[in-house]
Amino acid sequence: MDHTTARERLDSMLAELDRSIRVLTGEPVAVRERSAADAGSDLTEADRAQAMLDVAVSQRRAVVNALRRIDDGVYGECVDCGKPVPEGRLEARPEAARCVQCQSKQERRR
């Protein structure tokens, strides 16, 4: 993927992630009189919202890092082994920092 196309896609992703993060961190709804069951439901919703926020923040970090790699002239190179990240992987995930093999190793370490 050429750097111009990658930058456009990443900038678009960044704007969408910023919008999602703003929505997820919005002002809480006023607390009402609620039963214990409703409070449990609220906790579940809060947990779900926090999980979505965590994913959005993590993905935003990956997009910003990809934009930085474009600026540094190393976009499309695996950050671990230095080999090219496959074109298809960058098409599917323009923020990808690792080749498939290194990404697999990274995920097994977690």
Report the pLDDT value the prediction gives residue 65, as an integer from 0 to 100: 98
- Whether 58 has a pLDDT exceeding 80, the answer reads yes
Binning pLDDT at 50, 70 and 90, where does residue 31 land? Answer: very low
Binning pLDDT at 50, 70 and 90, where does residue 37 land? Answer: low
Report the pLDDT value the prediction gives residue 42, as an integer from 0 to 100: 59
Assess contact for 13 and 90: CB atoms under 8 A: no
CB within 8 Å of 44: residues ≥ 6 apart: none
Stronger pLDDT, 88 or 47, i.e. the higher one: 88
Report the pLDDT value the prediction gives residue 46, as an integer from 0 to 100: 78
Report the pLDDT value the prediction gives residue 41, as an integer from 0 to 100: 60
Report the pLDDT value the prediction gives residue 26, as an integer from 0 to 100: 77
pTM, full prediction: 0.75
- The Cα–Cα gap between 44 and 90 comes to 35
- The Cα–Cα gap between 45 and 63 comes to 27
